[in-house]
């Protein structure tokens, strides 16, 4: 490959500029890699306790629904759940973390989650529905953070690969080519000097 290189001073200058640009890019990508890693660590610290809290709340909600089923007739449960009066909308916008677009979710809820009369229903069903309503916010936050972590982890992998290619492949190859051209130019310079000295000796003789 090096035999095909144009061993000229112009090529040497061009390659030196390319190395400087690659090193600058390596520095910027390294900073990006480190910042994404920091962001991921922060999100991971939030996800752990949040997931445990959601799982605990959902378990309690499930138990309340089971209690409601145990204290109500099946047809009364079906009738109570048939006509929902609460509307749930989820809006997704995007923010940028180190040039990575990550989702931000906000909910809009209208109406009352309890959509039935109290004559044939139990207080356990009321409590179960209210508990489910309260856990919505945590569920949305957990989904948002887990998606952010997934996107950042993907970007971190790509950034690490680019840093490694620059650090271990591109920059070393460019430097090796520069050394090759420098050696060729130095060799040509020595040959020229030797020829000039021979010509000088011939003239003096």
Residue 157 lies in a domain: yes
Q: How far apart are CA 148 and CA 40, in angstroms?
A: 9
Residue 102 lies in a domain: yes
Task: Report pLDDT for 168.
Answer: 95
Task: Report pLDDT for 116.
Answer: 66
Residue 130 lies in a domain: yes
Helix (H, G, I), strand (E, B) or coil at 89: strand
CATH number for position 150 = 1.10.287.3240
Residue 204 lies in a domain: no
Task: Report pLDDT for 121.
Answer: 75
User: Residue 8 CB: number of other CB atoms within 10 A?
Assistant: 13
Task: Report pLDDT for 40.
Answer: 94
Q: How far is CA 87 from the centre of its chain?
A: 33
Residue 205 lies in a domain: no
Q: Which residues contact 99 (CB under 8 A, 6 or more apart)?
A: 32, 155
Gap between the terminal Cα atoms of the chain: 44
Task: Report pLDDT for 119.
Answer: 65
Residue 14 lies in a domain: yes
Averaged over successive runs of 10 residues, the pLDDT of the chain (205 residues) comes to 73 94 96 95 94 93 86 77 74 86 82 69 81 86 94 96 96 94 87 77 70
The model's pTM: 0.75
Residue 44 lies in a domain: yes
- Total of domains in the chain: 1
- Its domain, for residue 75, covers 2-198
Q: How far apart are CA 190 and CA 114, in angstroms?
A: 94
């Amino acid at each position: 490959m090096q035999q095909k290189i144009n061993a000229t001073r112009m090529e040497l200058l061009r390659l030196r500029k390319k190395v400087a640009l690659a090193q600058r890019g390596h520095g910027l990508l390294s900073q990006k890699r480190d910042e994404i890693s920091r962001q991921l660590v922060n999100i991971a610290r939030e996800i752990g306790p949040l997931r445990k809290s959601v799982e605990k709340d959902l378990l309690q909600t499930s138990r309340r629904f089971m209690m409601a089923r145990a204290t109500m007739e099946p047809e009364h449960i079906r009738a109570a759940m048939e006509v929902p009066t609460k509307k749930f909308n989820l809006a997704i916008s995007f923010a940028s973390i180190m040039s990575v677009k990550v989702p931000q979710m906000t909910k809009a809820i209208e109406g009352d989650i309890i959509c039935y009369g109290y004559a044939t229903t139990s207080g356990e069903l009321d409590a179960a529905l209210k508990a489910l309503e309260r856990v919505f916010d945590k569920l949305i936050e957990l989904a948002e953070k887990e998606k952010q972590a997934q996107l950042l982890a993907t970007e971190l992998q790509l950034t690490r690969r680019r840093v490694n290619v620059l650090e271990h492949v591109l920059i070393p190859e460019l430097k090796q080519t520069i050394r090759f051209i420098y050696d060729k130019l130095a060799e040509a310079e020595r040959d020229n000097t030797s020829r000039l000295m021979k010509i000088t000796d011939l003239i003096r003789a």
